[in-house]
Amino acid sequence: MKPTFFSGLDLGQMSDFTAFVVVQRSTQPRPDRSDEMEHRFDVRHLQRWPLGTSYPAIVADLKTMYATDELAGSTLVIDMTGVGAGVMDMVKQSKLNATLGR
Protein backbone atom coordinates (compact mmCIF):
# COMPACT_ATOMS: atom_id res chain seq x y z
CA MET A 1 0.00 0.00 0.00
CA LYS A 2 1.37 3.41 -1.01
CA PRO A 3 1.95 5.76 1.96
CA THR A 4 -0.40 8.71 2.29
CA PHE A 5 1.29 12.10 2.53
CA PHE A 6 -0.15 15.49 3.51
CA SER A 7 1.73 18.78 3.32
CA GLY A 8 1.22 22.30 4.62
CA LEU A 9 2.71 25.60 3.48
CA ASP A 10 2.77 28.59 5.82
CA LEU A 11 3.70 31.72 3.92
CA GLY A 12 5.99 34.30 5.42
CA GLN A 13 6.94 37.72 4.22
CA MET A 14 9.93 39.92 4.96
CA SER A 15 10.05 39.29 8.73
CA ASP A 16 8.58 35.76 8.84
CA PHE A 17 9.94 32.60 7.27
CA THR A 18 7.95 30.54 4.80
CA ALA A 19 7.72 27.01 6.17
CA PHE A 20 6.72 23.67 4.64
CA VAL A 21 5.96 20.36 6.34
CA VAL A 22 5.23 16.88 4.98
CA VAL A 23 3.57 14.28 7.20
CA GLN A 24 2.98 10.63 6.39
CA ARG A 25 -0.19 8.94 7.60
CA SER A 26 -0.17 5.25 8.30
CA THR A 27 -2.91 3.07 9.71
CA GLN A 28 -2.20 0.40 12.27
CA PRO A 29 -4.02 -1.66 14.88
CA ARG A 30 -4.48 0.09 18.22
CA PRO A 31 -2.05 -1.29 20.84
CA ASP A 32 -4.84 -1.75 23.39
CA ARG A 33 -7.56 -2.95 20.95
CA SER A 34 -6.18 -4.90 18.03
CA ASP A 35 -9.67 -5.11 16.50
CA GLU A 36 -9.62 -1.29 16.01
CA MET A 37 -7.37 0.77 13.77
CA GLU A 38 -5.71 4.12 14.46
CA HIS A 39 -3.87 6.68 12.35
CA ARG A 40 -0.28 7.60 13.02
CA PHE A 41 1.29 10.76 11.58
CA ASP A 42 5.06 11.02 11.16
CA VAL A 43 6.85 14.18 10.05
CA ARG A 44 8.90 13.28 6.98
CA HIS A 45 10.15 16.70 5.85
CA LEU A 46 10.46 20.21 7.28
CA GLN A 47 11.73 23.13 5.28
CA ARG A 48 12.15 26.83 5.91
CA TRP A 49 13.21 29.18 3.13
CA PRO A 50 15.54 32.11 3.89
CA LEU A 51 13.88 35.45 4.58
CA GLY A 52 13.20 37.33 1.37
CA THR A 53 12.88 34.23 -0.82
CA SER A 54 10.55 35.13 -3.66
CA TYR A 55 7.21 33.37 -3.98
CA PRO A 56 8.01 32.29 -7.57
CA ALA A 57 11.17 30.57 -6.22
CA ILE A 58 9.13 28.81 -3.54
CA VAL A 59 6.57 27.65 -6.12
CA ALA A 60 9.41 26.35 -8.31
CA ASP A 61 10.81 24.38 -5.35
CA LEU A 62 7.37 22.93 -4.64
CA LYS A 63 6.96 21.93 -8.28
CA THR A 64 10.22 19.97 -8.05
CA MET A 65 9.14 18.27 -4.80
CA TYR A 66 5.72 17.30 -6.17
CA ALA A 67 7.32 15.74 -9.24
CA THR A 68 8.64 12.92 -7.01
CA ASP A 69 6.76 9.64 -6.74
CA GLU A 70 6.29 10.12 -2.98
CA LEU A 71 4.45 13.46 -3.16
CA ALA A 72 2.90 13.35 -6.64
CA GLY A 73 -0.86 13.83 -6.34
CA SER A 74 -0.84 14.18 -2.54
CA THR A 75 -2.64 16.92 -0.60
CA LEU A 76 -1.04 20.34 -0.10
CA VAL A 77 -2.79 22.82 2.20
CA ILE A 78 -1.77 26.48 1.81
CA ASP A 79 -2.27 29.18 4.43
CA MET A 80 -4.66 31.63 2.77
CA THR A 81 -4.15 34.59 5.10
CA GLY A 82 -2.15 37.57 3.90
CA VAL A 83 -0.62 36.82 0.50
CA GLY A 84 -1.99 33.28 0.37
CA ALA A 85 -4.57 33.88 -2.36
CA GLY A 86 -1.94 35.25 -4.73
CA VAL A 87 0.47 32.40 -4.03
CA MET A 88 -2.37 29.88 -4.48
CA ASP A 89 -2.97 31.40 -7.95
CA MET A 90 0.75 30.96 -8.73
CA VAL A 91 0.65 27.33 -7.56
CA LYS A 92 -2.41 26.62 -9.72
CA GLN A 93 -0.76 28.24 -12.76
CA SER A 94 2.35 26.12 -12.22
CA LYS A 95 0.23 22.97 -12.63
CA LEU A 96 1.75 21.55 -9.44
CA ASN A 97 1.01 17.82 -9.21
CA ALA A 98 -0.91 18.11 -5.90
CA THR A 99 -4.44 18.17 -4.59
CA LEU A 100 -4.80 21.71 -3.24
CA GLY A 101 -6.57 22.65 -0.02
CA ARG A 102 -6.76 25.69 2.22
- Mean pLDDT across the chain, nearest whole number? 90
Q: Report how far residue 63's alpha carbon sits from residue 42's, in angstroms, rounded to the nearest whole number.
A: 22
Q: Report how far residue 59's alpha carbon sits from residue 49's, in angstroms, rounded to the nearest whole number.
A: 11
What are the domain boundaries of the chain? 4-95
10-residue mean pLDDT series, the chain (102 residues): 84 90 90 84 96 94 94 93 87 94 75
Q: Report how far residue 38's alpha carbon sits from residue 77's, in angstroms, rounded to the nearest whole number.
A: 23
Which pLDDT score is estimated for 67? 95
- How far, in whole angstroms, is CA 96 from its chain's centroid? 12
Query: What would the pLDDT profile of 51-76 be if each residue is shown by its tens digit?
Result: 999 999 999 999 999 999 889 999 99
pTM: 0.85
**DSSP letter for each residue of 66-92:** TTSTTTTT-EEEE--STTHHHHHHHHH
